[in-house]
Amino acid sequence: MSKPRFDPFTFRLSAFVLGAGLAAATLVQSGAGNAAQPYPQRPIRLLVPNPPGGATDNLARVIAPVLGDALRQTVVVDNRPGSNGNVSTELTARAAPDGHTVLLAQDSQIVISPHLYRNLPFDTLKDVAPVASLVSTQMLLAVHPSLPVKSVPEFVEHARKASPPTPYASIGNGSQHHLAMEMLKARAGINLLHVPYKGGGPALVGLFAGEVSVMFGGSSAGPHVRSGKLRALALAGKRNEAYPGLPALSEFYPGLEVNPWLALFAPAGLPAQVITRLHGETNRLLANPGLSARIRGLALDPMLTTPGEFAAVIRADHAKYGKVVRAVGVRVD
């Protein structure tokens, strides 16, 4: 039997096929290894839509170190204010969906801004994904002490008779404070004069000075109510032990509730396992009595929800505020 003849071309082709196969196998193994890498792999950027010093930033400074400890990675607070939170939302929407960029969002930038701005470069229901609710906060219907009313019915009766209309403050056109008062106006059938200020601080100063008579104030209004500088008539949300005896607006107008919240969001397309990890760690931390006490010390209430519950809150608020914005006809361009 004769020896097989050596064919250089066949040898080179076989070597190429074998090498390609080995390379492909290496790539598959490498990809599988990357997919299986634990999260997180590097420091996490926590975008905050406000400058340092406000309630949202204060919450971020409390949450960041404990969440970092839980994830065994540094969480860096990155303040990115601007355009009522739209700057931070856009940064989140454009970030890589790998869990290393997370947004501490106010509800207004997710469920109100889409109705106020005509040309947002993102869709808050599609381009960012809810990760976990964090806290809810209270809004107080507060009046200047000189106003001769001590209850919601008395205020409504006073507003019906007032000529010219009673002026009210908000922190800006289209703000939650503005829309909450417009909701009350519609339900109570009263007329009020809107006086928008540039932020909560100036609005409170205007109320102290008597430039306006009433406003929905956030957590910063609480100390002034306790000191007697303002008189609280009702809570915009549910009754709260921090304000014993103070009724909720819904007790006078069923269904009229404004419950502001803060939550974690991430770029859309975040892997399910990363969302599950972040959501689980966040809820575990919020359930811790020590952290819960620190959060309540900021006049905020821990808000633990399941993904389904939180998604329902977002949908309901998005629809509610869209209806109010359309009725009022307010736009911010």
Instruction: State the average pLDDT over residues 27-49.
Output: 71
Instruction: Look at 47 and 241; give whichever has higher pLDDT.
Output: 47
**DSSP 8-state class, residue 81:** -
Contact 78, 109 (CB under 8 A): no
Tell me the CATH number for domain 44-136+260-328.
Answer: 3.40.190.150
Per-residue confidence (pLDDT) for residue 17, from 0 to 100: 36
**What distance in Å separates the CA atoms of residue 289 and residue 185, rounded to the nearest whole number?**
39
Please give the order of strands across the beta sheet that includes 231-235.
Answer: 192-196, 166-170, 214-217, 140-143, 231-235
Tell me what pLDDT residue 55 has. 87
User: Which pLDDT belongs to residue 300?
Assistant: 92
For the chain, residues classed under CATH 3.40.190.10 are 140-251
CA 96 to chain centre: 20
pLDDT (0 to 100) of residue 227: 93
Angle at 99 between CA 97 and CA 100, to 5 degrees: 105
Q: Which residues of the chain does CATH 3.40.190.150 include?
A: 44-136+260-328
Q: What kind of fold does domain 140-251 have according to CATH?
A: D-Maltodextrin-Binding Protein; domain 2 (3.40.190)
Q: What is the pLDDT of residues 122-174, one digit of tens each?
A: 999 999 999 999 999 999 999 999 999 999 999 999 999 999 999 999 999 99
Per-residue pLDDT, averaged over 325-332, amounts to 90
The whole model's pTM is what? Answer: 0.84
Whole-number pLDDT of residue 36: 53
Mind spelling out the 3-state secondary structure of 278-313? HHHHHHHHHCCHHHHHHHHCCCEEECCCCHHHHHHH
pLDDT at residue 248 is higher than 70: yes
Q: What pLDDT, in 10s, does the model give residues 14-37?
A: 433 334 343 334 433 434 334 457
The pLDDT value recorded for residue 293 is 95
